[in-house]
Amino acid sequence: MKTVGIDERTVEDRREMEEILLAAKVGRLGICWNGQPLIIPVNFVYENGAIYFHGSDLGLKTEFLRRNPDVCFEVDEFWGTVPASVPCEYDTAYRSVVVSGTAQVLSSPEEKTVPLRLIVAKYAGQDAAKGLTPLMVEEYRSSRGRETAVVKIRVKAMTGKRSTEKPTRKVE
């Protein structure tokens, strides 16, 4: 990914970027097809250099992804507003990561099951994830009669930024 304007806010440490990705509960998927950009928030997991999310197989998101697999994905932590003596110098304290990658809509129940277990474990706990089998994944249909789509984003590059300091006094 081409970077312009690297400054003291750049996070260069890959481990710190991965820490942000692992901690985030919501990621913003950036997709584009036929001149139409779209941002979709999703729950996700980051595992072994890839991002996985799941959802209905029906809708613009998966339609776009099948037509153009080049995606961006963004996560952030908003720590607060940092006060200053003059309004123009107020700042935002944050950490964030922007990923670029290639998306693949996984097709077999076997390849979907492991990422689905990871997603269920992250959001519903390990106990809920244990019982998930490829057969359950294969047989599940949403209320609209559709399969669950699981999307894998192979991370090609990532950049990170953080504010120079955590605020000592925050404006809530």
Ligand X SMILES: Cc1cc2nc3c(=O)[nH]c(=O)nc-3n(C[C@H](O)[C@H](O)[C@H](O)COP(=O)(O)OP(=O)(O)OC[C@H]3O[C@@H](n4cnc5c(N)ncnc54)[C@H](O)[C@@H]3O)c2cc1C
Min CB(27)–ligand X separation in Å: 9
What angle (nearest 5°) sits at the alpha carbon of residue 29, between those of residues 26 and 34? 160
Residue placing its CB nearer to ligand X in the complex, 61 or 117: 61
Instruction: Pick the stretch among 12-20, 47-55, 84-92, 100-108 that binds ligand X (CB under 6 A).
Output: 47-55
Does residue 109 touch ligand X according to CB under 6 A?
no
User: E-strand spans in the chain?
Assistant: 10-11, 27-33, 36-42, 45-47, 50-56, 70-82, 91-106, 148-162
Does residue 42 touch ligand X according to CB under 6 A?
yes
Residue placing its CB nearer to ligand X in the complex, 77 or 165: 77
Residue of 6, 22, 26, 128 interacting with ligand X (CB under 6 A): 26
Q: What is the CA radius of gyration of the chain?
A: 18
Element (H, E) at 128: helix 126-130
Does residue 32 touch ligand X according to CB under 6 A?
no
94 and 163 Cβ atoms separated by less than 8 Å:
yes
| Cα end-to-end span (Å), the chain | 34
Residue of 37, 41, 49, 125 interacting with ligand X (CB under 6 A): 41
Residue placing its CB nearer to ligand X in the complex, 9 or 114: 114
Which residues here bind ligand X, judged by CB under 6 A? 26, 38, 40-43, 53-56, 59-61
